[in-house]
Amino acid sequence: MKLVGPRKVHNVPPLRADENLDDDLRLVVENAYDPVVRKLPGLDIGRAYWGARAGFPYGGDVVDVFRYADGRTSIALIDISGHGIRVATHAGLVRHALRAVASQGYDAVGSIRALNRLCIETSAFEDDSEFFATAFFGIIAIDQRSMGYVSAGHEAACLVGGSGTRFLNATGPILGLFDDDRAFRGDTVALEPGDIVAAVTDGFTEARNERLEFLGPAPLATVIEDNRARSAEEQAQAIVARAFEHAGARLADDVAAVVLNVEAAVSKGESNDD
């Protein structure tokens, strides 16, 4: 698949000097959207982001990868309502909030429940009625070959393995909408070497062509199958490129993708220093 378009498919570019943001704020925003992903034991993880808005490319889509001291790794794909600098600040908030609660030993369900409460209380405190988000949050225990995950109102995530494709459907509502922990549940999937987990924001599924036809979630699995031999980063870029090819100049929303390739199981004591 050709990975080109009017703007190169890549992780979020640096802000231009004329964006009227001082250097400190620019660093904060860039770090929220484009943190470095280290090589992790048994995992190849890639991300891609396409900002639909010219000038200020940072919208409400957040991709985060984090490894905890106990050996677990989390992947998060979050789509916050809105665009612009207000949403960029919320992006940093939710990214580090998930890291913080999961660092305390919470599983994916407990972490998302805590984030939902934070969204609700932040909305009330800041008098912001538009702080809603969808989220896919998975915590991988590579030594146990498993991933516990929650999909809070998120449409498109899938596991592509040797036995076929399984779509990881929503397990709870949109974040910030219901103050009810019972509304959020999770699921667990087994992971084997060669398995691929991919998730996208709704800028992918809702991309429209010239006939106003939605791309939908099914092409996500197709892109992964067509690019199985490539790296996770290349797969993520191919996913974003597929949305652009479908919609072209009509791509009106940001598109973010995260891809996780399972390379091998490792022991609990293995270091992540390469």
Residues 6+ apart with CB under 8 A from 188: 146, 147, 148, 149
CA angle 58, 126, 114 (to 5 degrees): 80
The interaxial angle of helices 232-247 and 218-226, nearest 10 deg, is 130
Order of strands across the sheet that contains 43-50: 43-50, 255-262, 196-200, 156-161, 164-167
Classified by CATH at the fold level, domain 20-262 comes out as: Phosphatase 2c; domain 1 (3.60.40)
The closest of 217, 196, 214, 164 to 263, measured between CA atoms, is 196
The larger pLDDT score, comparing residue 50 to residue 2, is at 50
User: Which pLDDT score, from 0 to 100, does residue 264 have?
Assistant: 66
Q: Summarize pLDDT for 84-136 with one digit per residue, the tens.
A: 667 777 777 888 999 999 999 999 999 999 999 999 998 888 877 677 899 99
pTM of this structure: 0.83
Torsion angle (degrees, nearest 10) of CA 233, 237, 240, 244:
180
Please give the span between the terminal C-alpha atoms of the chain, in angstroms, as a whole number: 31
Q: Summarize pLDDT for 22-50 with one digit per residue, the tens.
A: 555 555 555 555 555 667 889 999 999 88
User: Which pLDDT score, from 0 to 100, does residue 265 have?
Assistant: 54
| DSSP per-residue codes, 67-78 | E-TTS-EEEEEE
Query: Domains of the chain: which residue ranges?
Result: 20-262
Q: Kindly indicate the confidence band of residue 272, based on its pLDDT and cuts at 50, 70 and 90.
A: very low
User: Which pLDDT score, from 0 to 100, does residue 22 have?
Assistant: 54
